[in-house]
Amino acid sequence: MRGFLLALMGLALAAGAVLGPRAFEQVLPRSGSVPGLEIEGVQLEAGTDIGAHVEERARRFAERRIELRLPGRRTTEQAFGELGLRIDVESAVRRAEHVGREGRWATRLDELRRARSGKIDVPLDVVLDFGVLAAELRALKEDFDSTAVPARLDLDAGRVVPHVPAKHLDIHRAAEIVLEAARVEAKVVVLPVAEIAPRVSAELVASIDRSEVVAEFKTFFGRGGGRAGNIEQAAKKLDGVVLAAGEVVSFNEIVGARTEENGFFKAPEIYKGEMVQGVGGGTCQVASTLHAAAFFGGLDVVERYPHSRPSGYIRMGLDATVSWPTVDLRLRNPWPFPVVIDTHVEGPRIDVRLLGARRPANVTYQSATVGVIPFKRKITEAHWLAPGRIIKKQKGIRGYRIRRHRRILTTGGEERIETSVDHYPATPEHFIVPPGTDPEGELPPLPEDASAASDTRPT
């Protein structure tokens, strides 16, 4: 039957050259494929339902699976459809159905001749929904991506600790590769990974001149317990860190989470103005000592917060509180040479030095108290307390407003003056008492500049 149709079509085509389009339209199928037409390498019978054929091809394409590989990671296999790949069915059907049925009759006649000779092959275009692919690769990316680890100095051993480049899965480039792999029917795709070296490379660190002390600051602490261990741990993580010229460093990024898994211990710390037990108590003293050294070294203080109460180990205005992951100390090196952080913990003392090619500036600091804030009294009733027994949970501490004044005079004669105000809130005095206690008769009087406030919630 197919041979008869082709022969008849040949007669119609020959007649069409003389008699016009009506001659070959009488034998052209009213719908479906024209004789000899191919779609992506598959020849269709005359009159084949083109839409059904392409839909079926598209379904099989969407089910085809491809292996995705990441360097050093387990491979994963997914279907094209899951990755957002599909056949453009509408486009393929439209082009196939228009062969021999559109345009001038001479053009149509030529298309029918070429189709009969197997010279018209309608491609199946592959398209990609980038949003679907990005969503599918996001879990891989989150698991694979890593941040760069700058090189640093092992000051005790006198050697360079090499840098580790950042790695990230390039989803935009992956889209191009996956789309091309689908077009050529590849079975494996190696996903593209970009590596970015940190600004502080091993080569930079090896060339650093650290012959001069840019600035130095010391603070003291009590030995024993978790707090001392936390100071030693945080100081060790800072030791040998390099600030390239113009670079900003983050205390939290360097020291990391204050968790037992990261080497920190349980110790008292300030939380909402009160001393509580937590993990990492003492790291604020390391941050404060670093801040003071940077302050006197003329470094830019990009982000810094004072404590919620004055600290016994450092002068007001020089302290810096930190809390993972939100409250940070960030410093910028404004000098045209790298600066190295050198930390030492010996006995009850932590010493932070900044080392560099030279001492670039003379820095002076002045502070003045511009306000004193009286503390309040907090009273909490506890039903579990026996009558007459009173517990002083927390000592009241006055708050202060401190005006800070830093003068930086460079060796080149340039002067910069910075003025700011630190606010240290008052710490309430806190008593726990049994119900029915008379605060005025049974508690010591408040200082004249303090006022009372009661919290009678039971505990």
- The tokens 């930079």 sit on which residue? 204
Burial of 34 (0-12, 13-18, 19+ CB in 10 A): buried
pLDDT, tens digit, 9 for 90 and up, residues 245-278: 999 999 999 999 999 999 999 887 766 556 677 8
- 414: three-class secondary structure by DSSP: coil
Residue (of 82, 61, 58, 66) closest to 177 by Cα position: 66
Residue 450 pLDDT? 55
CA dihedral for 99, 105, 106, 109, sign (positive or negative): positive
Q: What length does the chain have?
A: 459
More confident residue, 320 or 33: 320
Give the chain's domains with CATH numbers. Answer: 2-71+81-128 (no CATH), 208-359 (no CATH), 360-459 (2.20.230)
Cα–Cα distances (Å) from 401 to 208, 370, 376, 387, in that order, read 41, 5, 17, 40
pLDDT, tens digit, 9 for 90 and up, residues 42-93: 999 988 999 999 999 999 999 999 999 998 877 889 999 999 999 999 999 9
- Indicate the average pLDDT of the chain: 89
Q: CB neighbours of 69 closer than 8 A, spacing ≥ 6?
A: 75, 188, 189, 190, 191
Tokens of 108: 């149509």
Strands 85-87 and 126-128: antiparallel
Angle (nearest 5°) at CA 279 between 274 and 284: 65
| 66, 188 contact by CB (below 8 A) | yes
Cα separation, 80 vs 128, whole angstroms:
9
Three-class DSSP labels, 19-78: HCHHHHHCCCCCCCCCCCCEECCEECCCCCCHHHHHHHHHHHHHHCEEEEECCCCCCEEE
> Percent helix, strand, coil in the chain (nearest 5)?
30, 30, 40
The whole-number average pLDDT for the span 227-254 is 96
| 243, 323 contact by CB (below 8 A) | no
pTM above 0.95, yes or no: no
Burial of 158 (0-12, 13-18, 19+ CB in 10 A): exposed
The yes-or-no verdict on residue 25 having pLDDT over 60 is: no
